[in-house]
Amino acid sequence: MLLHFFFLFIITVVNTESSIDFHRNNDDDAHLDYDGYQLLRIKPINNKQIELIKQFQYDYQLDYWNQPFIQQKHDADNNNFQSILTLINPQQKQFIKSKLNQSNIDYDIISENYKKIIEQQNLEINLAKKLFYQRSLSANVNVNDYYYDQFDYGNYHTYDELYSQIDYLANKYPKMAEKISIGYSYERRNIFGIKIGNLMMNNNSSSSDQKIIFVECGIHAREWISPAFCIWLAGHLLSSSTTSQLTSLIDHYQFIIIPSVNVDGYVFTHTHQRLWRKTRSRQYGSFCIGADPNRNWDSSWCQKGSSYDPCTDIYCGKRPFSEIETRQMATFLQKYNGKIFAYFAIHSYSQLWMFPYGYSSKRINDYNRLRSASQAAVNAIRSLYGTQYKYGSIADVIYLASGASVDYVYDKLQVKNSFALELRDTGTYGFQLPIWQIIPTCLETWTGIKAAIKILEIY
């Protein structure tokens, strides 16, 4: 312990680069309104610059909203290096920009003050909530498909609102839905979910034989479109359960939907910091809070694309399943070992349809099937509104990332159809995806999932 502090002391003294505090440790409990924060789009043009950008991430604790990745040889001709969005605080901004200039790395300032973007979106959300409330008070309201059940699926919702909507759905459709819980979070919130299927209440053995489609949402707190998709999916499956296409799906499968795995983080994005990503657990020996719950699964834990530094956003935690949320998810999933037909982990943003592995560039045995299913999904998505997705293994499409849920369920729970999705958009709005895009995003994602299932069934 003493030795630990001694080393910390040495590191602090040796780090003479500047007196700027690059660690956001003291901010981890703060109310942040992001006043003066700038959003930069960094535009690398070669792999050497990407290496440097990666180094900056570690050296200066930068929060990259999408990860820089080295372009593979076969892509080398298209010169299509993805730009990286990063939000930098007022203390960092001059220093970081001078570092980029020194390295001849081009960048744009997308927002001079991110506070305004967040305020604008909050305004929209609150206005839409007010309008919806007023409309639902009116007796003659002509509700369209997406405003059923007095819940506005076309808006973002708080933890409490999601929770009561799941309650509502389970009560309204007792023969088809059951509220479930995978346990309690670090801050003792219920990590709730819903099970949806036709046969579960029929008192025959066939319901337990039904294969499961598992949808995991909100493992990263700030990706609000993810819980929005899960709650929409629950509502959509139940309210349209009589249509023939859905009946056949619900006859064949049980859906288990967890709208917000990282509930503490999600609440924190509403109360303190809109852009919080991790869990909210206290880390022994550090002021920094939380671990990345999608680097915390026991699957090549804390290898590539993760960090042992609790102050980074990709901190893998003290050990595999150190976070109570991932541990309970795994325990819950183990009960269904061998019964899960497909697993979908829903993230944002980047418009990517991915499958294992994240921790290795090695091809999985099921590569061809998952690739075909992904291709079908991406085509189906494009056919709806023209939204373009890329697809492939996580390691190929974005970067090596170890300790992710989809690798774990694929390797350890024999879920051979395991996918990680990054929904809209590609960076225009990023995590602040406007509310008018929620329903189209949900519809196209669901279209993609159905297309993937179709291929998986016949392959």
Binding site for Zn ion (CB under 5 A): 220, 347
Answer yes or no: are the C-beta atoms of 194 and 257 closer than 8 Å: yes
Question: Which amino acid would we find at residue 219?
Answer: I
Residue with smaller CB distance to Zn ion, 88 or 406: 406
Structural tokens at position 388: 């373009």
CB 300, min distance to Zn ion, A: 18
Question: Which amino acid would we find at residue 406?
Answer: V
Could you give the count of Cα atoms lying within 13 Å of 238 in the half-sphere of its Cβ? 27
> What CA–CA distance (Å, rounded) separates 345 from 187?
23
In three-state secondary structure terms, 5 is: helix
Kind of pairing, strands 177-184 and 106-111? unpaired
CB 345, min distance to Zn ion, A: 8
Answer yes or no: are the C-beta atoms of 290 and 220 closer than 8 Å: no
CB 347, min distance to Zn ion, A: 3
Residue with smaller CB distance to Zn ion, 295 or 416: 295
Residue with smaller CB distance to Zn ion, 198 or 300: 300
Structural tokens at position 281: 């657990």
CB 294, min distance to Zn ion, A: 6
Residue with smaller CB distance to Zn ion, 341 or 431: 431
Range 213-248 burial, b when 16+ CB lie within 10 A, else e: bbbbbbbbbbbbbbbbbbbbbbbbbbbebeeeebee
Kind of pairing, strands 177-184 and 84-88? unpaired
CB 421, min distance to Zn ion, A: 10
10 Å CB burial of residue 12 (0-12, 13-18, 19+) is exposed
Tell me the chain's radius of gyration from C-alpha atoms. 22
Residue with smaller CB distance to Zn ion, 107 or 297: 297
Residue with smaller CB distance to Zn ion, 274 or 347: 347
User: Annotated active-site positions, please?
Assistant: 422
